[in-house]
Structure 1
Amino acid sequence: MDLFLNELTSQQIIFSIFLTAKVCFWAFLLHGFFGILLAWYLSSEKAPFRNVINIIISFPLVFPPIATGFLLLMVFGRFGVLGKYLQPLGVEIIFTQKALVLAAFTAGLPLVVKPIQSAIASSAKNLIEASLTLGKSRLTTFIRVVVPNVRKSIFAGLALGVGRSMGEVGITLMIGGNIIGKTNTLSLEIYNAVFDGNYLRAGVLCVILLGVSVILFTLLRRMETRSV
């Protein structure tokens, strides 16, 4: 028990815990904003470029994380498609904590968008049409009709997004760099601990992630029970 507590209170683990919490917090905010808006946009069959955007969002679900990270590296790297324009502005993404947020956001986005998009298409579509027919603007319809009627799917999607963000490794490893004391999240710290043969530390970190996962699973189960 003492060994467990010593590992739990080590500076390296404390840093990883707070870094992971920080990344998940920012990913949660980004998912809450962009995830809901994208789900609302994609729920309309007449939306321009709907199929293209749908494919891009779903891409991380079927494409290997390491390969996804490589593509992001080619886009946001120093000489990447967008990175070469950000570099003169002093904006660094790759191998910074911004890259961790980008990785978490990318990995979790489809798990946020898909449940909300499905809920809007199945349960709120008629209400949306009625609201627009009555002369309400799309913004008013979104705030007063869509969000209240799919709030359970929003909470479920955000919970899944946070869980995926917390466990992200492949994309993070590629664009975050696994730099000790800078970009080593909890999941990457498990990798480092196993690589170093420190199975006690890896076990402590797994217990932490397991505890958070159980909390998220319990919240999802309660929402499912209330919706029945």
Structure 2
Amino acid sequence: MDAFDPAWVALRLSLKVALWATLIDLLLGVALGYLLARKRFPGRELLDAVLTLPMVMPPTVLGYYLLVIIGRNGVLGAWLQQMGINLIFTWQAAVIAAAVVAFPLVLKGARAAFENMDLQLEQAARVLGVSSFGVFLRVTLPLAWRGVLGGTLLAFARSMGEFGATLMVAGSIPGKTQTLSIAVYEAVQAGQDDHANLLVIVTSVVCVTVLIAANKLTPNRALAV
């Protein structure tokens, strides 16, 4: 039973971090995905490239950028520090790191879903007098939900496995910031192979389950980059 206690604590923390990160990504990803899919403005593709950058950038580099922004002497961190708020080495910092790393998955899924919709259905709703916001809630989002949900599930799985950026901004404090992926690293470093194997199995089962769900819900074209 003792072997399962640390794994259970790490699993609960990983789920907590992944859920909050995915919620943030869902809200921002849908909004920005709709903006990029439907609006034409100067710098649109540049904005898309910048927002997609976490998908290809090394996690440690992202972690460094986050330290520059939310660290105690960072652009935002110094201001928060004056208000008595410290994000570094907290589970909230792990949420921010996971959200940044996984965000492109929601963005790409949402944008592709919005771009591949039949716009005539939206136009018909407007002719019937439905407001723009009403059209989005009652027509656009229901039609795009498979692509959005598929990207969201992939973002959740990615958040569960985030390591590099999380380690840099949240550290490895057991019970506070030590997620499953970091716990695996610490167990291997300590030569605790049995504990590492247990953590790997738990992580793999959770991520495989999410990926199977994502594959069933997501059209192949919805995640095309």
Q: TM-score, normalised by structure 1?
A: 0.88
List gaps (5 residues or longer) in structure 2: none
Please state whether the residue corresponding to 1:30 is helix, strand or coil.
helix
* Identity over aligned pairs, percent: 34
Change (3 A) 1:48 1:130: farther
1:50 & 1:137 partners in 2: Cα distance?
26
1:152 & 1:74 partners in 2: Cα distance?
36
In structure 2, the partner of 1:179 is 173
2:93 & 2:30 partners in 1: Cα distance?
22
Q: Give the conservation status (yes or no) of the 8 Å contact 1:24–1:165.
A: yes
Pairwise CA RMSD: 2.1
Give the Å deviation of 1:127: 3.6
Matched, 1:59 2:16: no
Q: 1:166 is matched with which residue: 160, 165, 171?
A: 160
Q: Structure 2: which amino acid aligns with 1:94? A: I
1:215 & 1:35 partners in 2: Cα distance?
23
Deviations 1:52-84 (A, max 9, x none): 432232010111110011001000111111111
Matched, 1:92 2:67: no
List gaps (5 residues or longer) in structure 1: none
1:61 & 1:72 partners in 2: Cα distance?
15
Q: Give the conservation status (yes or no) of the 8 Å contact 2:97–2:166.
A: yes
Change (3 A) 1:74 1:133: farther
2:124 & 2:35 partners in 1: Cα distance?
17
Deviations 1:115-149 (A, max 9, x none): 11011112244444554566543312211121100
Matched, 1:28 2:22: yes
Matched, 1:73 2:87: no
Count of residue pairs the alignment pairs up: 220
Q: Give the conservation status (yes or no) of the 8 Å contact 1:124–1:150.
A: no
Which range is displaced more, 25-34 or 160-169?
25-34
Change (3 A) 1:54 1:133: farther
Give the Å deviation of 1:224: 4.9
Please state whether the residue corresponding to 1:165 is helix, strand or coil.
helix
Q: Give the conservation status (yes or no) of the 8 Å contact 1:124–1:146.
A: no
1:95 & 1:224 partners in 2: Cα distance?
35
Give the Å deviation of 1:173: 0.9
In structure 1, the partner of 2:35 is 41
